[in-house]
Amino acid sequence: MTRRTKIVIATAFVAAVVFTVAAVLYERNSRQQAADQAAAQLDVMVRDHSPVIGPATAAVTIVEFFDPACEACRAFYPYVKQILAAHPREARLVIRYTPFHREASIVGVQVMEAARDQGRFEPVLEALLETQPVWASHEAPATERAWEFAEAAGLDRQRARSYIASGAVDKVLEQDVADLQAVGVRGTPTFFVNGKPLAELNPRSLFELVKSEAELARD
């Protein structure tokens, strides 16, 4: 190996190290900025209109910025259910709508909000998530099928259409979009537990953060 070759290799190695360090610092800085921004926006995390699963008096509030057409939200939901089941009196889930997948997201929110109006929120939510690959396919969404699946889960479709026509869902979506922009949400799902952002998007981290907040509340 010539001296020039050694220099080239050494230079490339140093450049790679510098790039890696810069990437790590950038990611860490981005997370901190998101945390700071979220901390400054605690008052917009939960609205009176937000769907809630769990006791209203729970000491631990999990806020999920959620898109019914999001595959990752679908994958996370069983773990969120497990966490709520592990803390039935201490934790609640607040859902904020994040319609990043446009038509499919909006239709999903419309169906879910109509179901909430009829007291069928959770059954319809679970039906939509179970059948998401059918009605919310990113390549060829078939949003009309969402209504079929929701109806099978107990939704009164005619009453739902009337509720949506009233404009109530539009107001919810308008506020949630404004709030997600204020908080700085850029992807789904995004979780906050008692205002603290979930640093790593994995079920174990969410479980540990909820557990920690529950223990603090007991002390």
| pLDDT tens for the chain, residues 1 to 219 | 665 554 545 444 544 444 444 444 444 555 455 555 555 566 789 999 999 999 999 999 999 999 999 999 999 999 999 999 999 999 999 999 999 999 999 999 999 999 999 999 999 999 999 999 999 998 888 999 999 999 999 999 999 999 999 999 999 999 999 999 999 999 999 999 999 999 999 999 999 999 999 999 887
- The whole-angstrom separation of Cα 165 and Cα 117 is 13
Parallel, antiparallel or unpaired: strands 196-197 and 190-193: antiparallel
**E strands, 4-112, in order:** 52-53, 60-66, 91-97
Tokens of 45: 């995390």
User: What is the model's pLDDT at position 140?
Assistant: 87
Q: Which amino acid is at 138?
A: H
CA dist 142 to 112, 133, 137, 218, Å?
16, 10, 7, 47
For residue 9, what is the enclosing H or E element?
helix 3-39
User: What is the model's pLDDT at position 16?
Assistant: 44
User: What is the model's pLDDT at position 44?
Assistant: 84
CB 125 within 8 A of CB 115: yes
Q: What global pTM score does this model have? A: 0.80
